[in-house]
Amino acid sequence: MLNAYFYDSISLLSAISMKTTITFTPVDIEARKALDFSSGDVVRVWNKITEANGKTRLQAFEGMVLARKHGTEIGATFTVRRVASGVGVERVFPLFSVMIDKIEVVRHSRTRRSKLYYVRDKAIRDVRRKLKKDVRVVKKGSATTTEAVVEETPEEVTA
Q: pLDDT tens for residues 72-128?
A: 888 899 999 998 887 889 999 998 888 899 999 998 888 888 898 888 888 777 767
What digits encode the pLDDT tens for the residues 12-34? 445 555 566 666 677 788 888 88
Instruction: Give a yes or no: residue 16 inside a domain.
Output: no
In a domain? residue 63: yes
Give the DSSP letter string of 10-49: HHHHHHHHHH----S-SS-HHHHHT----TT-EEEEEEEE
Query: Does residue 153 form part of some domain?
Result: no
pTM of the predicted model as reported, rounded to 2 decimal places: 0.64
**Which pLDDT value is given to residue 130?**
67
56-69 vs 77-84, strand pairing mode = antiparallel
pLDDT at 126: 73
Report the mean per-residue pLDDT for the chain.
77
Whether residue 29 contacts residue 18, with contact meaning beta carbons closer than 8 Å, is answered with no
Task: Tell me: pLDDT of 138 over 90.
Answer: no
CATH number at residue 60: 2.30.30.790
Q: Is the residue at 13 inside a domain? A: no
Could you tell me which residue, 52 or 158, shows the higher pLDDT? 52
- Residue 68 is predicted with a pLDDT of 92
Rounded to a whole number, what is the distance in angstroms from the first to the last CA of the chain?
75
The DSSP annotation for 75-94 comes to T-EEEEEEEETTEEEEEEEE
Range of the domain at 38: 25-141
Buried-state track 58-81, b at ≥16 Cβ within 10 A, e below 16: eeebebbbbbbeeeeeeebebbbb
Q: Is residue 60 part of a domain?
A: yes
How many structural domains does the chain have? 1
